Structure 1
């Protein structure tokens, strides 16, 4: 990946996002969906592979994104791929990365594996379906999120940050 010089000056870090799976996604076609996820953070955009005929897809797709602003949110948008028409919107969710990066500034050396550093509770200001913990695990900072999709009748997306 080639970075613009202005991006290198403002680069705060890299964030690895794993789009794990979707749960009970809305039906986009007659009986099923062919879902994929678009991830956006700032100017960066990335797309998972399409999982055919599955409303409970397992993507297990990783992307590493450049972080230049801790106050931006990551936006996930789920679509149903269609062949002859525009892809169907299946909901979206967003989450803040600041709590994760704030946890990186804590004293992490010598912590036992599995230590919970921070817990973020679901609220009107986020898309969390349940509490999200930022853990110290095997020498890495890990956050698992279950995101409830907005603007649609059902569906969640499970994500992991590292």
Structure 2
């Protein structure tokens, strides 16, 4: 494993809500996941070894159910996770249907607490929706089955409508730095 990797992040992309129509009366949406802002993505695109993480296409549906889990190697918790929704087109370039970012800092602060005696379902931290994040509503970091999870509804930007329901979970990996050495 890479010395710079802190650990892994399981990103569960559950579903889309009221996504924009990009075909005649519906869309064929899928989600692409990247780490970092546009400049960092351009740099990573130069590295041909990097694989683009994306969900499958759900045909003819503006309220798709993906229920897919993607796993990301995290090197810096200060860098956001970027999600972009596209409409799959057969003969033309895929249409962008909005984007959102996940700020990992509130979540990783909870994971670093190493709370292992809490009752199942206990809320560790509440993250309020505001102008600087993409949350559509308040989100909570929850203790569930020995792990800290955060489910959130992200409001898509740069589009007329749409939200994504996602969940994140941290995975410590033997041989990696872990969150204790991470800068917040």
Tell me which interval the TM-score lies in, with the shorter structure as reference length. Answer: over 0.9
What is the TM-score with the length of structure 1 in the denominator?
0.93
Aligned equivalent of 1:132? 139
List runs of 5+ in structure 2 lacking aligned partners: 37-43, 45-49, 170-184
Counterpart residue number, 1:50? 57
Q: Greater relative contact order: 1 or 2 (C-alpha under 8 angstroms, separation 6 or more)?
A: 2
1:152 aligns with 2:146: no
**Counterpart position of 2:19:** 25
Q: Deviations over 1:46-75 (max 9, x none)?
A: 110000000000000101110000100010
> What is the rounded CA distance, in whole Å, between the counterparts of 2:80 and 2:33 in structure 1?
10
SS in structure 2 of the partner of residue 54 of structure 1: coil
Measured in 1, the distance between the counterparts of 2:13 and 2:101 equals: 13
Structure 2: how far apart are the matches of 1:83 and 1:28?
Answer: 13
Whole-angstrom distance in 2 between the partners of 1:105 and 1:140: 11
List structure 1 segments (4+ residues) > 3 angstroms apart after TM superposition.
42-45
TM-score (norm: length of structure 2): 0.82
Q: 1:107 offset after TM fit, Å?
A: 3.6
Partner of 1:34: 28
CA RMSD, 1 decimal: 1.1
**Residue 10 of structure 1: aligned partner:** 4
Determine which structure has the larger strand proportion and give its number.
1
What is the count of residue pairs matched by the alignment?
156
The 5 A counterparts of 1:52-71 are: 52-71=59-78
Q: Deviations over 1:84-123 (max 9, x none)?
A: 0110110000111121111111141211111111111011
